[in-house]
Amino acid sequence: MKESAEQLQVCPHCGTSLEEDRYVLRGDGTCRCEHCYFADTYLDGVVESIDTAYLVTLEAFVTAIDAREHEVGNHSLRVTEFSLVIGKAYGLRGRGLVDLYCGALLHDLGKIGVPDSVLLKAGPLTPEEQAVMQKHPEIGYGIIGRIGYFKKAAEIIRTHHEHFDGSGYPRGLKGDDIPVGARIFAVADALDALTVTRPYHLALSLDDATDVIVAASGSIYDPSVIEAFIRASGELKDYIGRIFITVNQASGERPGPTV
């Protein structure tokens, strides 16, 4: 039976408070917080293969990142889910998915080293501030790359702002010189940025976001990853349609985004 809006103040599965009144409505009509839904639906065989000590490290870093940046509810979690869906469609399996999971979760780890005056600035960054911000991939790599288990994840962190045509940063890598996990993550990150309402733009529908992303195939994004993204579009649309349901929506007080 579907839970009532009053029951959605906490996750019925784990009991944690629902951030910003957000939850995921599952196909059977029951609800979960984003973390529980994500774990139940996508992490079978991925998290189980990560040693508990490393898993605790991951979770601690993720909490610190999202708290520091004041991101739009569970950004790290959403973009990781998108990455895994696209990664599976691309053909990644086993340890490849584990590395993608870790790298996606910790992609903005380096922002811990960016001054608040730059990281939290409301307006456009100056060229000097932009240069400071663009150091965060290398900072993140320096933090996590020392742990052998996270070696490939660290490379994803280091290269997640590289572009397929070489126009990205920090090293201007292009094509296959960019790790496949970072090429997959780049599409997932763009999808999240485009489909979440932020102070500077309203959320796009998945179809409109797809048009924007596909238009950059071969320049910003790897065409082979774009093909996987398109194959995964049905599953992504289903997830996006569920993740933005809120308590007020459930009671009919506020419409949700178009997917």
User: Per-residue pLDDT for 43 more than 70?
Assistant: no
Per residue in 206-231, is it b (16+ CB within 10 Å) or e — as a string? Answer: beebbeebbebbeebbbebbbebbbe
DSSP 176-240: GGS-HHHHHHHHHHHHHHHHS-BTTBPPPPHHHHHHHHHHTBTTTB-HHHHHHHHHTHHHHHHHH
221 bridge partner residues: 217
Band of residue 56 on the pLDDT scale cut at 50, 70, 90: confident
Distance (Å, whole) CA 238 – CA 206: 10
Considering Cα of 47, then 48, then 51, then 55, what sign does the dihedral take? positive
Q: Could you report the per-residue pLDDT of 137-152, keeping only the tens digit for each?
A: 999 999 999 999 999 9
Q: Give the mean pLDDT of the chain.
A: 82
Q: Quick one: pLDDT at residue 117?
A: 93
User: Per-residue pLDDT for 221 more than 70?
Assistant: yes
Q: Could you report the per-residue pLDDT of 230-256, keeping only the tens digit for each?
A: 999 998 887 776 664 443 333 333 333
Question: Does residue 169 sit in helix, strand or coil?
Answer: coil
Distance (Å, whole) CA 250 – CA 126: 42
| CB atoms inside a 10 Å sphere around CB 118 | 18
User: Per-residue pLDDT for 21 more than 60?
Assistant: no
CATH for 44-241 is 1.10.3210.10
14 bridge partner residues: none
User: Per-residue pLDDT for 18 more than 80?
Assistant: no
Give 44-48 contacts, CB < 8 A, sequence gap 24+.
46/84, 46/97, 46/98, 46/101, 47/101
Distance (Å, whole) CA 47 – CA 44: 7
pTM, two decimals, is 0.81
**The pairing of beta strand 31-32 with beta strand 24-25:** antiparallel
